Chains A and B, each alone.
Chain A
Amino acid sequence: MSEKPLHRFEQPISVPGRRLLHGIPLGFVRKKAAGGGGRSLNQELPLIPFIDFLLCIVLFLLASFSATGEMPIDQNVKLPNAENVLDMVEAPMVAITGTQILVDGVPAGSTRAIEEANRLQRIDELFNILKNKRELWRQINPGKEFPGVAVLQVDRRVPALVVKSVFQTAAFAGYPNISFMVGRMGGEG
């Protein structure tokens, strides 16, 4: 026999192969009985590494999951950005917009009133709310030292007089450690 395979139209005699059981008329029976040496079309998918991969993603996302969500920012507050910053902490949030002062979303004074008075002053409403929050914290955490931390969300255009008044009021209410909320320089402000 020639080593070179021959084209079937040029060669009247075909290459000998298996003949046994090839005469069965039913196709699927013939296939089963005669075999044929064809590769099985069934494939095993490697599911275990895929599940391991998914589990790793789930664990990572669960670890970085925050149930409280994004820190709420008042719509009227446009924060400045800074470079040398720290990560956020959980603390009472005092928002200072162009018109009003809010503690965790509750109105606690007017910015306009301070600007019109044009002098440093204690904001009584803010003082009472912060003092109540401090008392509540002490009742919930008896025997622990009160951290005295509050976060100020201040609009970038608010004058320093208003910030000083809020700062002073917070210090008198037992919150001398103030953090200013800012955006990270280079990130979205």
Chain B
Amino acid sequence: MAGIDVGGGGHGGKRSVNMELPLIPFIDFLLCLVAFLLITAVWSQMARINADARVPGPPRPEEEIEQKEKDKQLHVEMRGERKFQLVWKEGSTVVNTIDVERKPVKVNEDVTYPDLGKKIAEEWKANGSHRAATAKKFDQAVLHTDNTTPFADVIAVIDAIYTPQREYTVPGSGKTEMVPAFNVTFAVN
């Protein structure tokens, strides 16, 4: 056990100044604390996927809608059962249309579309407007689905849209990190 020894003491009827520190109860307390924290620790597997809303009428009237309209946007159509359609649009003008075969890959209970992810990454490298690390804005992708599509498929396609990654310099700190190249908007209409 640890102690404090200042030398001498205990002579001439004086009380000893040496002290024994009770470390064992302290260790017991620490062990209890460790056990409690380990038991209550949360090892979360939950995460999120972002999507903005595109609804009839602007949700934020103070934002300028016109500015957004001029940027090139990638529209991902998943209305058919056999293929996806990637449509590059500038405002309402269609610039390019690409068909991608719908090849779902099962991962346990989930579905993924790796081919769609690869094609979107290629398209972004060829046509993306905001590829520089210093670009503050991101390219916009708009997802269109029909009403009967199960939610798991919607998530699989959003996941594929987030496949291409780009460097992004965080304003202020100057740090560069990898972030998804697209912002995804879920078209409600």
Contacts and interface: CB of A to CB of B under 8 A. Distances in A.
A54 B34 contact: yes
Contact of A70 (B38, B42, B150, B180): B42
A9 interface: no
B151 A155 contact: yes
Interface stretch (A12-20, A59-67, A102-110): A59-67
A133 interface: no
Contact of B27 (A47, A168, A182): A47
Nearest to A58: B33
Classify the interface of chain A: helix, strand, loop or mixed. mixed
Interface string A67-89: 00111010000011111111111
A176 B52 contact: yes
Contacts of A170: 53
B48 A167 contact: no
A65 B49 CA distance: 24
B92 interface: no
Interface stretch (B132-140, B152-160, B169-177): B152-160
A83 B31 CA distance: 38
A158 B151 contact: yes
Contacts of B1: 47
11 contacts: A51-B30, A54-B30, A55-B30, A80-B110, A85-B49, A156-B151, A163-B186, A177-B50, A179-B48, A180-B49, A183-B47
Given A51-B30, A69-B42, 14 more contacts: A58-B34, A73-B46, A81-B108, A88-B46, A120-B188, A159-B147, A160-B149, A167-B53, A167-B55, A168-B188, A176-B60, A180-B158, A185-B112, A189-B108
Interface of A: 47-48, 50-51, 54-55, 57-58, 61-62, 64-66, 69-71, 73, 79-89, 118, 120, 148, 151, 154-161, 163-164, 167-168, 170-172, 174, 176-185, 187-189
